[in-house]
Amino acid sequence: MMVKHRHLLDFTGWTADELLALFDTTDVMAQVLQRTIKKVPALQGFTVSTLFFESSTRTRLSFERAARAQSADVISFAAGGSSLAKGESLKDTLRTIDAMQVDLYVVRHAAAGVPYQLARWTDAAIVNAGDGRRAHPTQALLDAYTFRTSFPGFDGFAGKKLAIIGDILHSRVARSNLELWTRLGATVALCGPATLLPRELEQPRLSLHHRLEPTLEGAQAVMALRLQQERMTSGLLPSLAEYRARYQLTEAVMALAHPNAIVMHPGPMNRDVEISSSLADSPRSVIERQVANGVPVRMAVLYTLLVGKK
């Protein structure tokens, strides 16, 4: 299965077969990371640059580890120290960095669309590591991969249901998971207060809810989103006590879901806000495995874009 894509900006144009091929490659990478020597020479001589205009240590380190585990060189570019502060245009900044002979950029930016713009300006591959509220495809991939590997004899995404609860409005994680899981044949239920649930997302295989009961019904995967405390003061949210009462994921609430349902969270967690601490540490929780799958999933993405398509 050859993947024909030059970039991973979102999942537009990616077929279910290509996405499943990414998961198969992830299986191989996960095995590499089980060895004593967790390193392969697959990307020797390639240079991967992280280009983070918005700070995120964990995502950046996860990509850098994924690159180094395949023997690629890594350039860390944080926008804080750059000439952008001197008034240089984004385009001129990228041209300058591009002169470092980078093969692939991992881009994060607070504004939606920046990675797409960069893809037009460089010959290098681009991986979107989060742009505004728009997309965060590798997070969605690691979520779906975690789901796939949580059930022995997993028989595919068709007929499965993912429930996502919380601040859908501001969440690129929700958008990318919606795009990915529906492409793979699953259905998705999104749930949150009216102010945080954008109606324009409506599409086939998606349902929108304000209450947990219909959201969780039949769901095999249940994901709580981080509640950004800074939204609380903006009038977008009810009181914290009310939010907890209506939307907090707890062991009791999980009785509404499929008996085998797993619990996910993209992190960082507010324990006992959007998710109870005991549920986060319970056997249903695959949160640690989500994090652990970050490196092999990103290894598979880097490998596929740089080498695997040839």
User: Residues touching a copy of itself: how many (CB under 8 A)?
Assistant: 50
Residue given tokens 């991992």 in the structure block: 106
Residue from 16, 20, 33, 201 in contact with a copy of itself (CB under 8 A): 33
Name the minimum Å distance from CB 301 to a copy of itself. Answer: 16
Element (DSSP H or E) covering residue 242 = helix 240-247
CA distances from 181 to 28, 175, 178, 184 (A): 22, 10, 6, 5
- Cross-strand pairs, 224: 165
Residue from 73, 207, 244, 272 in contact with a copy of itself (CB under 8 A): 73
Q: Are 49 and 55 in contact (CB under 8 A)?
A: no
User: Quick one: which segment of 78-86, 112-120, 182-190, 242-250 binds a copy of itself (CB under 8 A)?
Assistant: 78-86
Name the minimum Å distance from CB 130 to a copy of itself. Answer: 14
Residues in the chain: 310
- Cross-strand pairs, 73: 47
| Residue 87 binds a copy of itself (CB under 8 A) | yes
- Contacts of residue 9, defined as CB under 8 A and 6 or more positions apart, other chains included, come to 115, 116, 119, 126, 128, 135, 137
Task: Between 70 and 128, name the residue whose CB sits nearer to a copy of itself.
Answer: 70
Distance separating alpha carbons of residues 208 and 222, to the nearest angstrom: 14
Distance separating alpha carbons of residues 298 and 34, to the nearest angstrom: 16
Provide the mask over 226-265, with x wherever binding to a copy of itself is found by CB under 8 A and - wherever it is not: ---x------------------------------------
Task: Between 15 and 96, name the residue whose CB sits nearer to a copy of itself.
Answer: 96
Distance separating alpha carbons of residues 157 and 179, to the nearest angstrom: 13
Distance separating alpha carbons of residues 19 and 82, to the nearest angstrom: 35
Q: Are 103 and 305 in contact (CB under 8 A)?
A: no
Residue from 81, 204, 235, 283 in contact with a copy of itself (CB under 8 A): 81
User: Quick one: which segment of 2-10, 70-78, 182-190, 255-263 binds a copy of itself (CB under 8 A)?
Assistant: 70-78
- Contacts of residue 285, defined as CB under 8 A and 6 or more positions apart, other chains included, come to 262, 263, 265, 279
Name the minimum Å distance from CB 50 to a copy of itself. Answer: 12
Distance separating alpha carbons of residues 305 and 5, to the nearest angstrom: 7
| Residue 17 binds a copy of itself (CB under 8 A) | no
Residue from 2, 12, 36, 259 in contact with a copy of itself (CB under 8 A): 36
Name the minimum Å distance from CB 100 to a copy of itself. Answer: 5
User: Quick one: which segment of 10-18, 62-70, 107-115, 187-195 binds a copy of itself (CB under 8 A)?
Assistant: 62-70
Q: Binding to a copy of itself (CB under 8 A): which residues in 271-290? A: 271, 288
Residue from 97, 191, 212, 254 in contact with a copy of itself (CB under 8 A): 97
Q: Are 69 and 38 in contact (CB under 8 A)?
A: yes
Q: Which residues sit at the interface with a copy of itself, rule CB under 8 A?
A: 33, 35-39, 44-47, 55, 57-58, 61-62, 64-65, 68-69, 73, 75, 77, 81-83, 86-89, 92-93, 95-101, 229, 267-271, 288, 291-295
